[in-house]
Each structure stands twice: as structure tokens, then as C-alpha cells.
Chains A and B, each alone.
Chain A
Amino acid sequence: GENVEQHPSTLSVQEGDSAVIKCTYSDSASNYFPWYKQELGKRPQLIIDIRSNVGEKKDQRIAVTLNKTAKHFSLHITETQPEDSAVYFCAARVRTGGFKTIFGAGTRLFVKA
């Protein structure tokens, strides 16, 4: 079946450094790739997304890249800040009658001040 693999499961960086989280997906028909951030004790919230007809998208300090051929996509956070500490989930949307989204297992990012 469809799945999304996410790495690493835990990432620790110094404040100001960059953080990169990588995901791969299995369904070549996937066409939409969102990233969600979940702070401790809170609900997941969308932070950035990308469609399959775009290779890269940037929003201030965060960017997402997509390689459709390799079925890889990545989240890049530059100039990390302590408030970036959270769990990040990548996801891929597949179409099976409805709009089903498959999530990765999550990456816990720690930004050390």
C-alpha cells in the first residue's frame, strides 16, 4: 500500500543552524505534499505545502523541495530559532475516492539556544 517514510526521527541543531528533514513516498500518483508542525501539547498545523508541478517553494525561513522522479521531498529550515522546536510531519496526498493523506512518522526537532 501507500506509505511515506520520514527521516530522521529526531534532529538536534544549534540555534541559527539549518535543519533538513527528508521524506520519500511510494505512490507515484501523489500530487500534493504538505508539512505540518505540532508543538508540544498542541494540534498539528500546516506550515508549508507544495504541488507536484512545482520543484521548490519558499516561505521566509522555510522551504520545501520536491523531486518527483525520485519520489523525495524535503523541508529546509534556515536560521533556526528555539520556537522552531516541535514535531514535524511530512505527508502525501493520494486519491482513493476521497482525499486521503498519508503521514510520515514525524521528526522531533530540538533547537538548542
Chain B
Amino acid sequence: DVKVTQSSRYLVKRTGEKVFLECVQDMDHENMFWYRQDPGLGLRLIYFSYDVKMKEKGDIPEGYSVSREKKERFSLILESASTNQTSMYLCASSLGTRGATLKYNEQFFGPGTRLTVL
């Protein structure tokens, strides 16, 4: 059973603080993703990674950075948190291209971190 965990369910930070959101998956997945979820906007991709030390910008990377030092862990960093980064953050993972079936496309999501920046 795939498990994707996130370090916190709820987080409250102050403007200007550096914030780390951690995501760990235990299924040896190559691909990992960070999304933010806001009402009426769906899931928007911030960054993704398809291998260790590899990262690609998603649709809204501004104000964020990521780190993938180990295959199982993908960290999202807010260098200087701002109030407009208050949101629900979801991490996800999926298999890479080594999967010959459709299953390599399925993304498994973590429980989410609700971040409030005051």
C-alpha cells in the first residue's frame, strides 16, 4: 500500500519566515510533485522532480524552491513566507517510465499541509 506522508497537517508561520514542508514516500517512486490547492483554482503545480537532484518548475514556482537529495524525500521551501502563500499544500508521487503499464501515471497524494502565514 503506497504511503505518502507530509511532515505537518497544520502550520502557522509569520511573514518573512523560512518554511520547510517535507514529503516522504515509501514506494520507490521516481516522480514527486508539490501542488497548492486553493478554492476555485484546483491543484496547481509548484515544482516536480523525476529523479534525485532533478527538479523542474511547475506553473507557479515563484517564491518557492525544492530539494530532492534522496529518492524518497521531496522538500518544499518558502524562502520568505508571505500571506499570499497561505494555502493547502499537497505532495504526490508516481512511478517513472520503467513501468510498462498505465499504472506509472497514477499519482498518490499525501494528506496535505494547511499553511497559514500571518
On A, residues with C-beta under 8 Å from B are: 1, 6, 9, 32, 34, 36, 42-46, 49, 51, 89, 93, 96-106
The reply to whether B106 and A97 form a contact with Cβ atoms under 8 Å apart is: no
Known: A98-B49, A98-B56, A99-B31. A93 touches B105 (CB 8 A): yes
The reply to whether A49 and B105 form a contact with Cβ atoms under 8 Å apart is: yes
The reply to whether A105 and B45 form a contact with Cβ atoms under 8 Å apart is: no
Binds A, one of B13-21, B35-43, B77-85: B35-43
The reply to whether A51 and B102 form a contact with Cβ atoms under 8 Å apart is: yes
Tell me the smallest distance from the CB of A75 to a CB of chain B, in Å. Answer: 15
**B90 CB-CB contact with A under 8 Å:** yes
A-B contact number at CB 8 A: 65
Supply 18 further A-B pairs (C-beta < 8 A) apart from A43-B110, A99-B48. Answer: A6-B42, A9-B40, A34-B106, A42-B111, A43-B109, A44-B43, A89-B43, A93-B105, A98-B56, A99-B31, A100-B58, A101-B33, A103-B35, A103-B42, A104-B42, A105-B41, A106-B40, A106-B42
Known: A44-B109, A98-B50, A98-B56. A103 touches B102 (CB 8 A): no
**B59 CB-CB contact with A under 8 Å:** yes
The reply to whether B56 and A96 form a contact with Cβ atoms under 8 Å apart is: yes
Q: Which residues of B contact A98 (CB under 8 A)?
A: 31, 48-50, 54, 56
Q: Which residues of B contact A96 (CB under 8 A)?
A: 56
What mask results when residues 49 to 62 of chain B are scored 1 for a CB within 8 Å of chain A, else 0? 11000101011000
What mask results when residues 1 to 39 of chain B are scored 1 for a CB within 8 Å of chain A, else 0? 000000000000000000000000000000101010000
